Amino acid sequence: MKNEYSDSELEKLWCELSKIAIAVNENFIEQDFIFFEAGTDIIEIWIWFDQLHSKGVKWLQDNID
């Protein structure tokens, strides 16, 4: 697992995350994503992004498609 990511790398990963299926009404991913396994709660992944991206997950949600 990579320990450090630049904001631009995280933004690319955020775009990739948007393509991952999330179980309806369950909030968990249905397939592996980076080092997160299928079944991981999406909130856990958002927290990871929030901790690493300099502007946080809210900025990613508002600015990255």
pLDDT band at 65 (very low <50, low <70, confident <90, very high): confident
- Residue 55 has φ and ψ, to the nearest 5°, of -105, -5
pLDDT in tens, 37-62: 999 999 999 999 999 999 999 999 99
Residue 2 scores a pLDDT above 70: no
User: How confident is the model over 13-17, as a mean pLDDT?
Assistant: 96
Collect all residues with Cβ–Cβ distance below 8 Å to 21 and sequence separation of at least 6.
Answer: 29, 30, 31
pLDDT of residue 29: 96
User: How confident is the model over 26-36, as a mean pLDDT?
Assistant: 94
DSSP three-state, residue 16: helix
Query: In this structure, is the dihedral angle defined by the CA atoms of residues 6, 7, 8 and 9, taken in order, positive or negative?
Result: positive
pLDDT of residue 1: 57
